[in-house]
Amino acid sequence: MSADLYDALNQNTRATGQWGKGKAPKFKPWPRPKNKSKVAEAAEKDSKRRVSVAEIYKKFTARR
């Protein structure tokens, strides 16, 4: 959301400024997160398996 606000303020500044023809300042875009690849998503999905209530109970009641 902050990236959108940053971009909107920059566009407003460029549009309303008293710049000479072709001399409007250029602002660097706000960094945005990159999307995960489908391979990474599939690997992450496979690593998360369903855990039964019995397995969770065993983990909590195990003696150390």
Residues in the chain: 64
- Contact in structure between 24 and 14 (CB atoms under 8 Å): yes
Distance (Å, rounded) from C-alpha 31 to C-alpha 33? 7
Distance (Å, rounded) from C-alpha 32 to C-alpha 16? 26
pLDDT tens for 14-39 read 778 777 777 777 777 777 777 767 77
Q: How confident is the model at residue 56 (pLDDT cuts 50, 70, 90)?
A: confident
All structural domains of the chain with their residue ranges: 2-61
pLDDT for 43 equals 65
Over the chain, what is the mean pLDDT? 77
Distance (Å, rounded) from C-alpha 16 to C-alpha 30? 20
